[in-house]
Chains A and B, each alone.
Chain A
Amino acid sequence: MAKIVIDGVEYEVNPDNNLLQESLSHGLDLPYFCWHPCMGSVGACRQCAVKQYRDADDENGTLVMACMTPAAEGSIISIDDEQARSMREKVIESLMISHPHDCPVCEEGGECHLQDMTLMSGHNYRRYDKKKITHRNQYLGPFINHEMNRCITCYRCVRFYEYAGGKDLTVQASHHHTYFGRHEDGVLESEFSGNLVEVCPTGVFTDKAFSAQYARKWDLQTAPSLCTGCSIGCNITPGERYGSLRRVVNRYNSEINGYFICDRGRFGFDYVNSDERIKTPFARIDSKIKDLSDEETMTALEGYNNSEVIGIGSPRATNESNYALRSFVGEENFYAGIADNDNEAAHLILELSKDKAFHTPSIKEIEQADAVIVLGEDLTNVAARIALALRQSVRNKAKELAKDFNIPTWQDAAVKELAQHDRSPLILLSGYSTRLDDIASDSLIDSSEILTQIGAAIADQIASKNVSAPIDEEKVSQIAEQLSQAENPLVIAGTSSGDINLIQAAANIARALCERKGKPINLCLTVPEANSMGLTMMVKKENTLGVALKKLENGKAKKVVVLENDLFRRAVHADVEAALEKCEGALVIDHIATATTEKASLVLPSTAFSEHEGSYVNYEGRAQLSFQVHKNLDSALPAWRWLSADQFKSVEEITKRCSKELQGFAKLSGLLPELDHLVAGIKIPRQSHRYSGRTAMKANLNVHEPKQPVDDESVMSFSMEGVPLTKDSTILGASWSPAWNSNQSISKFQEEINGELKQGRTGELILERNSDGKYLEINNKKLDVRSGLKVVIAYQIFGSEELSAKSKSIRGRMTGAYVAVSPSDAEDLSLKQGDEVNLNEDEGRVIVCIRTKIKKGTAAVYCGDNEIDRHALGGIVTLNKCENKVSSHGIQGLIVSDLYEEAY
């Protein structure tokens, strides 16, 4: 720690930081644009000018940029100095020269950092009376609007884009014609492009879907919520107006998502507003639909309350709803609602998550890894936020170098210029070239069978055992060396490869490293969905979906209750079909129509993620609470409510019961906000103090102001009345602080910049590590002996997840199902790019996508939005060319780096 003086007041600071960061950490207002807490300083905007004095006797001082000056011991600065203030005012005046002042029609208005900083800097009247510079805007795809005239040239967008590994957004031209855009109109390729909306300090990049149905930040009803797009559990703030969910923005969590989320998380919420939502309970009698009254519903539900009913849980439902179903049918009759191989893998992951040899890293910890090996996971497409974190982890080498050269790590450009392409090791073992290949030190592409052998050989090498590898042994020993030498190695695997052997190999590598280094090793094992971990913790390992379907088919179970789950995505279609047809009754509780609700005899509408409060457990065993944002205006109820009659008065009661009764969930109740947070029992408002139009928004129906919906369950209210917990970030939806209307206001809630939220919580790690495991036996036998190409399952961030795939903007980015093959296999099979083929004669038609880096003999199959029955595919596939094309959509817009271009 060092001491510095700012405007006569002494502060304790970290001398490794710069003056801007420290000023903000101490709650001082100092305007800035180009600096970003996560991306450091470049000194472009000159907005954070302060006066620095040599010593106490120096009366003149010199102007310095706070973001480019270290907070060195004994520094004396003034933010308030007249010359510094005048400089900052001038900078704003310059920045605004060509700004269109279209705030009233700009989507950013009301949460615009430029507005805030203009006010803070004191620039009022425009003196510039010459011609403004104007730019042409570009079409950037379904997510983002481009309005370049608003640009103040802070360079944040291109810096973020580089941070996220994107290459198609660049800075072009120079002087005051500087332009930020693509080389031509077109879809922004980065999976993180949505963050531009938040990174841009003004309205150049705005959320297209939000703009189309626009509301001001202050008019949105918000609450702290969680993304349900994958197993990371990124924190988000959804915003609702007029009964529809309008947008999702990032909500800061220091351990998980920090400042950034992926585009699936940001744009995938729209299914909540879908026409396919189930609005009322209905029965299907002789394939006719009959809406049910409350009484009929209760009677119908009663028919499922007996011992011959089994329940199938859901990895996308809350702990509370899964627990309610488990209680409804009894633990013995509660089955995993996931594919059997996923279930086996998930249980292994759960077991490994209790092993003392390992540590499951949070996203923040992943960013700190200095050597990483990934086995079989296409992280960008299955757990995107991890991919973004790995892009930062490879920069640790640069930071290390910078330390040697006394370059502070916040000197972003200098650190990059020093390190150039020097990166920490990232070793990728995958079935096809992934979006992280550009930063990988090694990218080994093969079938999972071979990848497993490589992984096993690396583990053996680290453990100094005999090594037999299908690749060059030198490569194996080099990788083993890189991992062993690292301070903070990280091993990543997961369920998406569909091959449990890869998880076993990953665990063995981590165990060998643990033995070698004598400390727990970072082992990150991803699971598919938001609550895969919570579900797995609740369901017995042997209660697989396969068993459940068999029981229904052979009559050992009479009826089934399916919780928020489309079983056709979990098992062979024919098996699901048979089970649902044979059983006496299938009650499906879901919020949206699926292939499974189509087959149900009774359907009850449940609430979507933003319409209920509930808890989820992420890949690391971190339980988090997601608050209800808005009320469901139809008759949907949280699934647990349908299943627990009137047993629980509120969600909190059932959360507490879960916590008490379920093994491993003891810490869950710790997530619940404590009532003494409330001032005199007054609730925390979901609507901002500036919420407008309450008396007018329904005046077309009735001129009387409607009573606000009451929330009996939660500490939050559906109203603007109440006391916002300005100092308690546990229940922090949209952050706001006086003079800070934009998302940059989050700094006012952080203990220090990039630190934890004040009194906030990052969730509860509920798994305890208390077991001593051993090396796992890998049974890497080829099961499928048919001839053909070995199947690797491929994923797409936009399309591979069921719910987000129903979002309109996400649909704009989805491609049809395809099979990726090597150029050589394509030639052997006389296939051309874009041809249509049948998989195994009759298992669905897909588009051929020839990729140069695919291993000969393997085929990466992307099943689209369940277009292909992936569980029926098996390990081997044959491709049979179809003469005529029938598929409605092709693979236009597929973003891969190794697309084969045939020579003309």
Chain B
Amino acid sequence: MVVKPLTKNIDMSRPPLDISAYENNDGYQSIKAIAGGLSPADVLQIVKDSGLKGRGGAGFPTGLKWSFVPQGDNSPSQKYFVVNGDEMEPGTFKDRLLMEGDPHLLIEGIIIGAYTIQANTAYIFLRGEYKVSERMLKKAISEAYTKGYLGKNIQGTGFNLDIIVHTSAGRYICGEETALLNALEGKRANPRAKPPFPQVSGLWGKPTIVNNVETVCNLPGIITYGVNWYHSLTKGNDHGTKLFGISGKIKRPGCWELPLGIPIRELLEDYGGGMRDGLGLRAFLPGGGSTDFMLPEHLDIKLDYDEIAKVGSRLATGTMILLDDQTCPVGMVGNLMKFFAHESCGFCTPCRDGLPWVDEIFNEFESGRGTEKDLGILHEHVDYLGPGRTFCALAPGATAPLGSGLKYFSEDFKKHIKEKRCPYEH
């Protein structure tokens, strides 16, 4: 039984499998299954039953998202399937592994998704720096055309699909699905108001599904091996496997495909090899830069969407950033704030003008000029930049490490003020 459906073909010591090798390892079987008589409604039901949740960060059920796309004669005939490959979340490098390691898996997933919503054009919105991914994807796409998996009347299904790879000009905000759509249309990458949701009015005003690379890569396995197989993979409440990554001062930083629901400790110690010698774990961000800090006391919590939410953080992208006990936590939060302030699109006030102020305050703290007044202002901004206050989720994402950082590292902030310097600088 396949236990690592996402990475079974990946071996970074060699180029990715070409289409024949990919086919020989159950590749494109799902397309054959579709050609064998699965209707879009059938596929939708399978994906709903699988319980697959979006792997981009929000964890929204994929089948449910797809079901919002208007179908039938009265719906717009033009629809779009867009893959979000703009992996820019700090500390996240899981989609890159998939695209560089096994591009055909993504293409197969795209065909399934596009077929289900009946979109004849798919875009892969790719992070501009992912040059290798671009090369691998373009090569794989051209192979897929040659073998009749893309283009007109795919495998005799009567379904047509073209995939276009679009490389981003590069902004963090392009990972927000509506900003991504604006960017794809050639406009400023500002997020759009929701409602209307992209499923109804998306790319060029047409019904559009935007899914993360990893989400899409889950699809071939689900169709090929079935829902029961998919349900058997997990060790937790959520289904399937997930790519987990670790960065920070650990012995073996990296990215692994593991069942959902394994304890965090297992990931850190068995796969990451534990902290580097002489360093202790101070805290960690479980799913990228825009998640709340968790502490060593949380290490026995399962890597599962709901379990992590219970302690006030988010599994999000599942790629951890570790903070060791010899690195200044104020500096780490400040570094993230600098990133978020710089990546604000500039559309709404709290994010555009609030984050730079926060960033400035962290600069002062690091250079020993932090004050109690500034600390108060930081606390205020946690609220002010929070959900519902801003136009999109960027600033609320930034408040996750800010708010939890202020809570967990309050002594460090105070030390900065008292000692008029960064206590971690020697």
* Per-residue B-contact encoding for A398-413, CB less than 8 Å = 1, 0 else: 0001000111000101
Shortest Cβ gap from B125 to chain A (Å):
17
Shortest Cβ gap from A594 to chain B (Å):
50
Q: Which residue of B lies closest to A46 (CB)?
A: B349
Q: Tell me whether A552 is interfacial, beta carbon within 8 Å.
A: no
A43-B391, A420-B205 known; A95 vs B346 contact (CB < 8 Å):
no
Of the listed stretches A167-175, A686-694, A825-833, A890-898, chain B binds A167-175
Shortest Cβ gap from A176 to chain B (Å):
5
- CA of A468 to CA of B391, assembled, Å: 57
Q: Is the CB of B350 within 8 A of A46?
A: yes
Of the listed stretches B146-154, B189-197, B235-243, B288-296, chain A binds B189-197
A155-B347, A407-B201 known; A176 vs B188 contact (CB < 8 Å):
no
* Per-residue B-contact encoding for A36-53, CB less than 8 Å = 1, 0 else: 000000111111010000
Q: Is the CB of A44 within 8 A of B388?
A: no
Which residues in B have their C-beta under 8 angstroms from that of A47?
Answer: 349
Q: Which residue of B lies closest to A131 (CB)?
A: B360
Q: Is the CB of B201 within 8 A of A175?
A: no
Q: Tell me whether B352 is interfacial, beta carbon within 8 Å.
A: yes
Q: Is the CB of B193 within 8 A of A414?
A: yes
Q: Is the CB of B389 within 8 A of A46?
A: yes
Q: Tell me whether A187 is interfacial, beta carbon within 8 Å.
A: no
Q: Is the CB of A413 within 8 A of B344?
A: no
Q: Tell me whether B356 is interfacial, beta carbon within 8 Å.
A: yes
Known: A175-B343, A175-B356. 5 other contacts (CB 8 A): A63-B389, A155-B347, A176-B356, A411-B193, A418-B196
- CA of A361 to CA of B280, assembled, Å: 77
Q: Is the CB of B193 within 8 A of A43?
A: yes
28 A-B contacts (beta carbon < 8 Å): A43-B193, A43-B391, A64-B388, A90-B350, A90-B384, A91-B349, A94-B354, A95-B349, A97-B357, A127-B373, A130-B357, A130-B364, A133-B356, A153-B352, A174-B171, A175-B343, A175-B345, A176-B341, A176-B346, A176-B353, A407-B196, A411-B193, A411-B196, A413-B192, A414-B201, A417-B201, A418-B196, A418-B201
* Per-residue A-contact encoding for B177-203, CB less than 8 Å = 1, 0 else: 000000000001000110110001100
Q: Tell me whether A178 is interfacial, beta carbon within 8 Å.
A: yes
Q: Tell me whether A429 is interfacial, beta carbon within 8 Å.
A: no
Q: Is the CB of A91 within 8 A of B350?
A: yes
Q: Tell me whether A62 is interfacial, beta carbon within 8 Å.
A: yes
Residues of B in contact (CB 8 Å), total 37
Q: Is the CB of A153 within 8 A of B196?
A: no
Shortest Cβ gap from A14 to chain B (Å):
19
Which residues in A have their C-beta under 8 angstroms from that of B345?
Answer: 174-175
The 3 closest A-B pairs by CB, nearest first: A178-B346, A94-B353, A130-B360
Shortest Cβ gap from A421 to chain B (Å):
9
From B200, B356, B373, B391, name the one whose CB has the most chain A CB atoms within 10 angstroms. B356
* Per-residue A-contact encoding for B325-362, CB less than 8 Å = 1, 0 else: 00000000000000001111111111011111100110
Shortest Cβ gap from A413 to chain B (Å):
6
Q: Tell me whether B21 is interfacial, beta carbon within 8 Å.
A: no
Q: Tell me whether A419 is interfacial, beta carbon within 8 Å.
A: yes
Q: Which residue of B lies closest to A408 (CB)?
A: B195
Shortest Cβ gap from A173 to chain B (Å):
7
A91-B350, A405-B196, A407-B195 known; A176 vs B201 contact (CB < 8 Å):
no
A91-B349, A94-B349, A413-B192 known; A175 vs B341 contact (CB < 8 Å):
yes
Q: Tell me whether B309 is interfacial, beta carbon within 8 Å.
A: no
Q: Tell me whether A128 is interfacial, beta carbon within 8 Å.
A: yes
Shortest Cβ gap from A879 to chain B (Å):
42
Q: Tell me whether A87 is interfacial, beta carbon within 8 Å.
A: yes
Q: Tell me whether B390 is interfacial, beta carbon within 8 Å.
A: yes
Which residues in A have their C-beta under 8 angstroms from that of B354?
Answer: 94
Which residues in A have their C-beta under 8 angstroms from that of B389?
Answer: 46, 49, 63, 87
Shortest Cβ gap from B72 to chain A (Å):
14
Shortest Cβ gap from A70 to chain B (Å):
10
Shortest Cβ gap from B368 to chain A (Å):
15
- CA of A31 to CA of B354, assembled, Å: 19
Shortest Cβ gap from B358 to chain A (Å):
11
Q: Which of A128-164 contact B (CB under 8 A)?
A: 128, 130-131, 133, 153, 155
Which residues in B have their C-beta under 8 angstroms from that of A87?
Answer: 384, 389
CB contact between B193 and one of A68, A90, A127 (< 8 Å): that residue: A68
Which residues in A have their C-beta under 8 angstroms from that of B356?
Answer: 97, 133, 175-176
From A98, A130, A173, name the one whose CB has the most chain B CB atoms within 10 angstroms. A130
Q: Which residue of A lies closest to B356 (CB)?
A: A176
Q: Tell me whether A290 is interfacial, beta carbon within 8 Å.
A: no
On B, residues with C-beta under 8 Å from A are 171, 188, 192-193, 195-196, 200-201, 204-205, 341-350, 352-357, 360-361, 364, 373, 377, 380, 384, 388-391
Shortest Cβ gap from B349 to chain A (Å):
5
- CA of A94 to CA of B390, assembled, Å: 13
CB contact between B377 and one of A42, A45, A127, A401 (< 8 Å): that residue: A127
- CA of A128 to CA of B373, assembled, Å: 10
CB contact between B188 and one of A171, A417, A418, A422 (< 8 Å): that residue: A171
Which residues in B have their C-beta under 8 angstroms from that of A91?
Answer: 349-350
CB contact between A90 and one of B195, B205, B341, B380 (< 8 Å): that residue: B380
Q: Which residue of A lies closest to B364 (CB)?
A: A130
Which residues in A have their C-beta under 8 angstroms from that of B188?
Answer: 171, 174
- CA of A405 to CA of B197, assembled, Å: 11
Which residues in A have their C-beta under 8 angstroms from that of B364?
Answer: 130
- CA of A616 to CA of B342, assembled, Å: 56
Q: Is the CB of B344 within 8 A of A175?
A: yes
- CA of A401 to CA of B356, assembled, Å: 39
Q: Tell me whether A177 is interfacial, beta carbon within 8 Å.
A: yes
CB contact between B391 and one of A44, A94, A133, A174 (< 8 Å): that residue: A44
Q: Is the CB of A97 within 8 A of B193?
A: no
Shortest Cβ gap from A150 to chain B (Å):
14
Which residues in A have their C-beta under 8 angstroms from that of B353?
Answer: 94-95, 97-98, 153, 176
- CA of A401 to CA of B355, assembled, Å: 37
- CA of A47 to CA of B350, assembled, Å: 10
From A45, A94, A175, name the one whose CB has the most chain B CB atoms within 10 angstroms. A175
Q: Which residue of B lies closest to A404 (CB)?
A: B74
- CA of A155 to CA of B347, assembled, Å: 8
Q: Is the CB of A419 within 8 A of B352?
A: no
- CA of A47 to CA of B373, assembled, Å: 24
Q: Which residue of A lies closest to B355 (CB)?
A: A175
Which residues in B have their C-beta under 8 angstroms from that of A418?
Answer: 196, 201, 205
- CA of A46 to CA of B391, assembled, Å: 8
Which residues in A have their C-beta under 8 angstroms from that of B355?
Answer: 175
Q: Is the CB of A153 within 8 A of B201?
A: no
Shortest Cβ gap from A254 to chain B (Å):
28
Which residues in B have their C-beta under 8 angstroms from that of A90?
Answer: 350, 380, 384
Q: Is the CB of B200 within 8 A of A153?
A: no
Q: Which of A416-462 contact B (CB under 8 A)?
A: 417-420, 422
Shortest Cβ gap from B99 to chain A (Å):
26
- CA of A95 to CA of B346, assembled, Å: 12
* Per-residue B-contact encoding for A62-83, CB less than 8 Å = 1, 0 else: 1110001000000000000000
Q: Is the CB of A94 within 8 A of B344?
A: no
- CA of A422 to CA of B206, assembled, Å: 12
Shortest Cβ gap from B373 to chain A (Å):
7
Q: Which residue of A lies closest to B391 (CB)?
A: A43
Which residues in A have their C-beta under 8 angstroms from that of B204?
Answer: 420
Shortest Cβ gap from A125 to chain B (Å):
12
Which residues in A have their C-beta under 8 angstroms from that of B360?
Answer: 130-131
- CA of A42 to CA of B361, assembled, Å: 30
A127-B373, A127-B377 known; A42 vs B193 contact (CB < 8 Å):
yes
- CA of A401 to CA of B360, assembled, Å: 45
CB contact between A153 and one of B195, B343, B346, B390 (< 8 Å): that residue: B346
Shortest Cβ gap from A753 to chain B (Å):
20
Which residues in B have their C-beta under 8 angstroms from that of A176?
Answer: 341, 344, 346, 352-353, 356
Which residues in A have their C-beta under 8 angstroms from that of B347?
Answer: 44, 155
- CA of A45 to CA of B204, assembled, Å: 25
Which residues in A have their C-beta under 8 angstroms from that of B380?
Answer: 90
